[in-house]
Chains A and B, each alone.
Chain A
Amino acid sequence: MPVSLTSSKLIYDALKECDIRLVSALPETWLVHLIRMTDDDPEMILVRLAKEEEGVGISAGAHFAGVKSAMLMQNHGFLASINGIVSFAHLYKIPLLMLISYRGSFGERDPWQTQGGNVTEPVLRALGIPYSFLDKVESAKTRIRQAQTLAESSLQPVALLLTRDLMWEE
Chain B
Amino acid sequence: MLRVECLRSIYSELENCLVVTIMGAVAAELQSLGHRPNFFYLQHAMGLASSTGLGLALCLPEQKVIVIDGDGSLLMNLGSLSTMARYRPKKLIHVVFDNESLLSVGGFPTATSAGTDLEGIARASGIPRVATVHSVENFKAAVTNAMHCSELTTIIAKVEAKGPAAYVTNLSLLENRFQFRRHIQSLKSQ
For A45-78 the 0/1 string (1 means CB < 8 A from B) is: 1011111011111111111111101000000000
B70 on interface, CB distance cutoff 8 Å:
no
- Assembled-state Cα–Cα distance A161/B113 (Å): 43
Stretch in B99-107, B115-123, B152-160, B173-181 with 4+ CB within 8 Å of A = B173-181
Asked whether any CB of chain B lies closer than 8 Å to the CB of A11, the reply is no
Known: A50-B79, A53-B77. A61 touches B45 (CB 8 A): no
Q: B180 CB to closest chain A CB, in angstroms?
A: 6
A17 to B134 Cα, complex, angstroms: 50
Q: In the complex the two chains form, is A57's CB within 8 Å of B177's CB?
A: no
> Which residues of chain B have C-beta atoms less than 8 A from A60's C-beta?
48, 52, 55
| Pair B51/A56 contact, Cβ less than 8 Å | yes
A51 CB contact (under 8 Å) in B40, B54, B77, B177: B77
Does A91 have its Cβ within 8 Å of any Cβ on chain B?
yes
- Asked if B59 lies at the interface with its beta carbon under 8 angstroms from chain A, I say yes
Partner-contacting stretch, out of B5-13, B82-90, B143-151 = B82-90
Q: Assess the A92–B55 pair: CB atoms within 8 A.
A: no
Q: Identify the closest chain A residue to B18 (Cβ).
A: A64
Q: How far is the CA of A51 from the CA of B50 in the complex (A)?
A: 13
Question: In the complex the two chains form, is A61's CB within 8 Å of B79's CB?
Answer: no
Closest to B45 in A: A88
Question: Once bound together, how far apart are the Cα atoms of A92 and B57, in whole Å?
Answer: 20
Total interface residues on B, using CB and 8 Å?
36
- Residues in A with CB closer than 8 Å to B57 are 61
Residues from chain A with a CB closer than 8 A to the CB of B40 are: 64
Q: Is A139 an interface residue (CB 8 A)?
A: no
Residues of B within 8 A of A64 (CB): 18, 40, 52, 55-56, 180-181, 184
* Cβ distance B118 to chain A, nearest Cβ, rounded Å: 16
Which residues of the partner chain B approach A58 to less than 8 Å between Cβ atoms?
A: 51-52, 54-55, 58
Output the least CB separation between A127 and chain B (Å).
14
A91 close to B44 (CB less than 8 A): yes
Docked complex Cα distance between A21 and B60 (Å): 12
Chain B residues whose CB sits within 8 angstroms of the CB of A53 once the complex forms: 47-48, 51, 77
Question: Could you tell me which residues of chain B, from 25 to 82, have a CB within 8 Å of some CB in chain A?
Answer: 40, 42-45, 47-60, 77, 79-80, 82
Cβ-defined contact, A62 with B55, below 8 A: yes
Give Cα A66–Cα B18 distance, bound, in whole angstroms. 14
Q: Is A93 an interface residue (CB 8 A)?
A: yes
**Contacts A56-B45, A58-B52, A91-B44 known; A49 to B83 CB distance under 8 Å?**
yes
| A147 touches B (CB below 8 Å) | no
Among B18, B45, B56, B83, the residue within 8 A (CB) of A50 is: B83
Cα distance A22–B180 in the bound complex, in angstroms: 20
Q: Which residues of chain B from 160 to 184 have any CB-CB distance to chain A below 8 Å in the complex?
A: 173-174, 177, 180-181, 184
Q: Which residues of A contact B (CB under 8 A)?
A: 21-22, 45, 47-51, 53-67, 69, 83-84, 87-88, 91-94
What are 18 A-B pairs at a CB distance below 8 A?
A47-B54, A47-B87, A48-B86, A50-B83, A54-B51, A56-B51, A60-B48, A61-B51, A62-B55, A62-B58, A64-B55, A64-B184, A65-B55, A65-B184, A66-B59, A69-B55, A91-B43, A92-B173
Q: Which residues of B contact A (CB under 8 A)?
A: 18, 20, 40, 42-45, 47-60, 77, 79-80, 82-83, 86-87, 173-174, 177, 180-181, 184-185, 188
Pairs of residues from A and B, 4 with the lowest C-beta to C-beta distance, nearest first = A61-B55, A57-B51, A50-B79, A57-B48
